[in-house]
Amino acid sequence: MHASSVVEDEVRELVRRRGIDPASEQAAVRRLVDDVIADYDERSLDGSLPALLDARGTARDVFDAVAGLGPIQRYLDDPTVEEIWINEPNKVFIARHGVAELTTTILTAEDVRDLVERMLKPSGRRIDVSSPFVDASLPSGARVHVAIPDITRAHWSVNIRKFVVRATHLDDLVGLGSLTAPAARFLEAAVASGLNILVAGGTQAGKTTLLNCLLAAVPPRERVITCEETFELKAPLNDIVAMQCRQPSLEGTGEIKLRRLVKEALRMRPSRIVVGEVRQEESLDLLIALNSGLPGMCTIHANSAREAVQKLCTLPLLAGENVTHQFVVPTVASCVDLVVHAATEADGTRRVREIVAVPGRVEGDVVETADIFTTRDGRLVRAEGWPPHQERFARSGFDLARLLQAA
């Protein structure tokens, strides 16, 4: 048996005897690992045990195995790693700066199942044959998605999307090159003036990060309610309530969907409502909330700002046959004020590609849009459009003409 295996077994036995919870008492586990390694080193001097060649490396590996997520913990600790996914036990991938790479980590099927069990334990969520998908959050804020056979062909599919905080304010995005300073000033003014903003983009385009940065521009006197599938938003606000969905119990009861959260949020005296992402019929409830004069923001998967508006005109139809296109289209036109579209470039850089206004007009069942900022020669520049509700900017103390002339 390898020296690290002996140390790990001894640590696990002491953890069990002393009743230590590895998840919540990590400092105690770390001290225990150090003590066991020191004791092991002394006992190995007489040759009865294999020597520890790398005490520091062994301590890290044993701690990760007992209190962390074993072989993938190092990727969770690595700030350059944005995402980790397991297609099958011997194919563990990571993404750095938007670029995927196959790691040298080799797991077993049992390792993968054990990792999933440990990841789901803090959230109380479950996965089995009757519920073959699960979404959950790790204590670190990373988002976990798992799918199992027979939905997948043969192996458990695991995806861990880390929330790598590189930007918390719009100025941070300017520093990263994701946004220009004039566009950032305009978006700050739009948020403070209470415009309804739709953040659009593909997977891993930085929509959640951008939404977080927009939330940071919300005036401190406002009360914000956020609704998400799993917790991802981390807004630096004092008066904020965050809610997430809940899976059904083993009996199939107790499920809380995103649509319910949006409805409940309206009963919580919000100054502004934020939905992490609209995918289905909850879009109708969000539109109804915005139509009542409540400012809000959300994200949506789309390849462009105009496609995002078109998609938002379609998703509410999933709410039922009584919801018609004739109702939804003008409602979208009157509720959405701005669409900010972000995308990932070929080199993995995330950038805002366009900021589009929705003036509120409909022509032949098509919602009209106007470009405020657009990308030319790889740079976000001022276009000719103007945002709606210009009087709101004035009431909030912003000179809109000067803001956009500076661009």
Among 387, 379, 26, 402, residue whose Cα is nearest residue 196: 387
d(CA 208, CA 345): 17
Same structural domain for residues 136 and 181?
no
- Of 164, 183, 218, the one marking the end of a domain is 164
- Of 41, 68, 95, the one marking the end of a domain is 68
The CATH code of the domain that includes 132 is 3.30.450.90
- Of 139, 164, 189, the one marking the end of a domain is 164
Amino acid sitting at position 249 = S
Same structural domain for residues 15 and 87?
no
Do residues 170 and 184 lie in contact, with contact meaning Cβ atoms separated by under 8 Å? Answer: yes
d(CA 368, CA 358): 6
Do residues 151 and 132 lie in contact, with contact meaning Cβ atoms separated by under 8 Å? Answer: yes
Q: Which helix (H) or strand (E) holds 199?
A: strand 197-201
Structural domain count of the chain = 3
Same structural domain for residues 146 and 290?
no
Q: Which domain holds residue 157?
A: 71-164
| Token output for 17 | 């005897």
Distances in Å between the alpha carbon of 102 and those of 224, 272, 318, 335?
A: 40, 42, 39, 44
Same structural domain for residues 199 and 346?
yes
d(CA 338, CA 373): 11
Same structural domain for residues 263 and 216?
yes
Q: Are strands 338-344 and 197-201 parallel, antiparallel or unpaired?
A: parallel
Same structural domain for residues 371 and 266?
yes
d(CA 400, CA 120): 48
Same structural domain for residues 183 and 238?
yes
Same structural domain for residues 378 and 244?
yes
Same structural domain for residues 311 and 382?
yes
Q: What is the pLDDT along the chain (407 residues), one digit of tens a residue?
A: 578 888 888 889 998 999 998 878 888 989 999 999 988 888 888 777 888 888 888 888 888 888 889 999 999 999 899 999 999 999 999 998 878 999 999 999 999 999 999 999 888 788 888 889 998 888 888 889 999 999 999 999 999 998 776 789 999 999 999 999 999 999 999 999 999 999 999 988 999 999 999 999 999 999 999 999 988 898 888 999 999 998 887 777 888 999 999 999 999 999 999 999 999 999 999 999 998 889 999 999 999 999 999 999 999 999 988 999 999 999 999 999 999 999 998 877 899 999 999 999 999 889 999 999 999 998 999 999 999 999 999 999 999 999 998 76
Same structural domain for residues 197 and 244?
yes
Same structural domain for residues 24 and 78?
no
What's the pTM value of the predicted model, to 2 decimals?
A: 0.83
The CATH code of the domain that includes 398 is 3.40.50.300
Do residues 26 and 19 lie in contact, with contact meaning Cβ atoms separated by under 8 Å? Answer: no
Same structural domain for residues 396 and 295?
yes
Mapped onto helix, strand or coil, the DSSP state of residue 373 is: strand
